[in-house]
Amino acid sequence: MQLPILQEQRRACGRLEILGPPPMDRAPLPMTVAEARQRGWDELDVVFVTGDAYIDHPSFAMAILGRTLEAAGFRVGVVSQPDWRSANDWRRFGRPRLFFAISAGNMDSMINHYTANRKVRNSDAYSPGGRIGLRPDRATLSYCQRAREAFKGVPVIAGGVEASLRRLAHYDYWSDKVRRSILLDSKADLVIFGMGENAIVEVAQRLAAGETVKDLRTMRGAAYVLGAKETPPDDALVLPSYEQVVADKASFAEATKMIHNETNPYNARRLVQWHGNQAVVVNPPQFPITQEAMDRIYGLPYTRRPHPIYREPIPAFGMIKDSVTIMRGCFGGCTFCSITAHQGRIIQSRSQQSILEELRDLARDPDFKGVVSDIGGPTANMYQMKCTRPEVEIKCRRQSCVHPTICKLLGTDHGPLIQLMRQARDVPGIRKVLVASGIRMDLAQRSPEYMEELTKHHVGGLLKVAPEHTHPDVLRHMKKPNNDEFTHFARQFREQSAAAGKKQHLVPYFIASHPGSDLNAMIDLAVFLKRNGYRPDQVQDFIPAPLDVATCMYYTGMDPFTKQPVYIARSLKDRKMQRALMQFFKPENYFEVREALRQAGRQDLIGSGCDCLIPSKPPPEAIVRRRQMAGRQFHGEYVHRITDSNTAPPKQKQQHKGKRKQSRHRPGIGYRPDRQSIRDDRPSG
């Protein structure tokens, strides 16, 4: 590795490695003034505002960033799921000394709120009781604007997945248009993209030392807007402008290609994109943090519980409370996945000692039942894998280390992970250690010893895998391995399970309506499922997330790297048929499957043959279901509504609007209170 780059990386990571000793108490970060005063604080340095419930567990960014700042000596408070209709919650702790840190939460708020069919989801896993309506649409925008309103002049720093993936002009699926950089709409001073521990400590330390927010524009991992009279840096790579990508889909595809070619922190160039007379500047990404820094971050005194203020269970906490993160990052480069864009392609792993210490700490918890629900990360079996030629890595611009083939320079040794799994099983108080994170099947098959350890000791009856599709063209657009890899893995898994005397099954995940997937491709998948006896209970519809390569394909109809056309299933009818084909065995899907087979000219799959997906005559359940659904296809909310205690009841409304007939829908306030929804209360007649 070149010496200047290595030195710069060490300086950056040094901010985390020289932090003072972590606080010994296990109290959560304060959410109220009373809790802050109990710590002896009359002023806070940083106020976090987040769209999620505050869970003090290292699987949540809010907890990691807050605890990291606390360990660096800063006083931190949390405002969780504030009422965005006024600035009162932003004033809860008084004026922060340094800055507001804004995040929509662990997910993009629009994906959190809406399904692939743009209908409102029934629950929010990151809210108490799973309740919906506790954050607005495009939460980063509202939160930043309220922070500005609450205290003039306090720097506003936005981060998290939503801000990170919307830092440049991007296609927004829910409005079906290209939107500007989130920096312009939110008026944030900076957007910190990617994983933020290094960056947020640097921001706090430099502001505390008297620097201004403009001085922070030199930071790696930062994006900002220049004033109309300011000049962009000379070394920047200029992207097609906002106006160009709105007017021309080929320009949008070219911008996407350029952005994704500049993601390797060792060779990424600064990016500039003009929006009218203003330039959005995106600096190179932060360097990956070292193993020592990872150990320190995950060794901070988390309570591993939701804040005591909550009285209802938080679904996301139930899923991860007994899990342990061993690494971050992913070199898979799947085009539909945001992990690589957010966490980076370079794997960052904790030491075995750090992981085992967390397991021992978990085993001492009186509420722990003896089963670790997961040791993993974005991908369970990439632990400590890395490029074997650092001098090549700093020049590499490859999008995936494993597609179309596994790079010959990639170290794929499963030895450190196997050793960790064996040691984890021996920790006193732990009965079982499960692997629930996804397995990269093409890597796993390179290590028969890993397959044996996994099937014999770390599967709780079911193992999740993600082949995603079977058709070679769709898999190529996804950057996923050929379906033969899944077939071989499934065979090995069955053989290893039988050798261990266990009855275990794979739970494969597939995606419908992904770019490149037409009815013929989905029929190919349905026949594969039928022949192999898979009946997926859960199926995933493709949702175009901001910045993803697959989202570019969806919007432009072309592959941004080859500029070749890609088939896109755009209509709701097509998407419903693709989804139904994956669950062809369900009676309620009979008529959609039949229509799909008819349109594709595959009536040979209707009947009683071995490969037939549906019988010739509809089952009685299908007819009953069709009658029940008649006239209901347009039912369902398309704009989230929440209960408003200030909303007058229907009778009072009728008194005020005496000449109007009261709607049968109770009025409420949506995520966008200034926007008239398609389900508002209009006078009838």
Domain that holds residue 120: 3-222
Q: What's the pLDDT at 293?
A: 95
Q: CA 638, CA 393: separation in Å to the nearest integer?
A: 46
Q: What's the pLDDT at 659?
A: 42
Q: CA 652, CA 64: separation in Å to the nearest integer?
A: 48
Q: Is the pLDDT of residue 678 over 80?
A: no
Average pLDDT of span 414-436? 96
Q: Contact 472/404 with Cβ under 8 angstroms?
A: no
Q: Is the pLDDT of residue 121 over 80?
A: yes
Average pLDDT of span 343-369? 96
Element (H, E) at 170: strand 170-172
Looking at the fold, whether 28 and 177 belong to one and the same domain comes out as: yes
Q: Is residue 135 part of a domain?
A: yes
Looking at the fold, whether 348 and 485 belong to one and the same domain comes out as: no
Q: What's the pLDDT at 333?
A: 94
Q: Is residue 341 part of a domain?
A: yes
φ, ψ at 433 (rounded to 5°): -120, 115
Q: What's the pLDDT at 309?
A: 96
* Chain-centroid distance, C-alpha 610: 40
What mean pLDDT value characterizes the chain?
90
Q: CA 563, CA 326: separation in Å to the nearest integer?
A: 38
Q: CA 381, CA 450: separation in Å to the nearest integer?
A: 9
Looking at the fold, whether 11 and 77 belong to one and the same domain comes out as: yes
Q: Is residue 535 part of a domain?
A: yes
φ, ψ at 166 (rounded to 5°): -115, 25
SS3 678: coil
Looking at the fold, whether 381 and 477 belong to one and the same domain comes out as: no
Average pLDDT of span 75-86? 97
**CATH code: domain of residue 465:** 3.30.750.200
Q: What's the pLDDT at 661?
A: 42
Q: CA 292, CA 416: separation in Å to the nearest integer?
A: 17
Q: Band of the pLDDT at 676, cuts 50, 70, 90?
A: very low
Q: What's the pLDDT at 416?
A: 97
Q: Which tens digit of pLDDT belongs to each residue from 166-175?
A: 999 999 999 9
Domains: count for the chain: 4
Looking at the fold, whether 28 and 160 belong to one and the same domain comes out as: yes
Looking at the fold, whether 445 and 529 belong to one and the same domain comes out as: no
Q: Is the pLDDT of residue 666 over 50?
A: no
Helix then strand then coil, % of the chain, to nearest 5: 35, 15, 50
**Closest alpha carbon to 261 in 245, 241, 239:** 239
Q: Got the DSSP string for 189-201?
A: SEEE-S--HHHHH
Q: Band of the pLDDT at 513, cuts 50, 70, 90?
A: very high
Q: Is residue 296 part of a domain?
A: no
Looking at the fold, whether 490 and 363 belong to one and the same domain comes out as: no
Picking from 202, 222, 242, the residue at the C-terminal end of a domain is 222
Q: Is residue 299 part of a domain?
A: no
Average pLDDT of span 562-580? 95
Q: What's the pLDDT at 26?
A: 79
Q: Which tens digit of pLDDT belongs to each residue from 536-559?
A: 888 899 999 999 999 999 999 999
Picking from 222, 252, 274, the residue at the C-terminal end of a domain is 222
Q: Which tens digit of pLDDT belongs to each residue from 440-494?
A: 999 999 999 999 999 999 999 999 899 999 999 999 999 999 999 999 999 999 9
Picking from 222, 242, 260, the residue at the C-terminal end of a domain is 222
Residue 50 to residues 27, 81, 476: CA-CA distances in angstroms?
19, 6, 37
Looking at the fold, whether 444 and 564 belong to one and the same domain comes out as: no
Looking at the fold, whether 525 and 382 belong to one and the same domain comes out as: no
Q: What's the pLDDT at 621?
A: 86
Looking at the fold, whether 329 and 369 belong to one and the same domain comes out as: yes
**CATH code: domain of residue 402:** 3.30.750.210
Q: Band of the pLDDT at 670, cuts 50, 70, 90?
A: very low
Residue 404: asked if its preceding bond is cis (omega within 30°), the reply is: yes
Q: Is the pLDDT of residue 2 over 50?
A: no
Looking at 135-139, 396-400, 666-670, which range is the least confident one?
666-670
Looking at the fold, whether 149 and 15 belong to one and the same domain comes out as: yes
Q: Band of the pLDDT at 270, cuts 50, 70, 90?
A: very high
Output the six-digit token pair for 650. 């229907």
Average pLDDT of span 299-316? 96
Q: Is the pLDDT of residue 365 over 60?
A: yes
Q: Is residue 37 part of a domain?
A: yes
Q: Is residue 17 part of a domain?
A: yes
Looking at the fold, whether 409 and 548 belong to one and the same domain comes out as: no
**Closest alpha carbon to 582 in 469, 462, 464, 490:** 469
Q: Is the pLDDT of residue 101 over 90?
A: yes
Q: Is residue 291 part of a domain?
A: no
Average pLDDT of span 367-381? 95
Q: Which tens digit of pLDDT belongs to each residue from 602-624?
A: 999 999 999 999 999 999 888 88
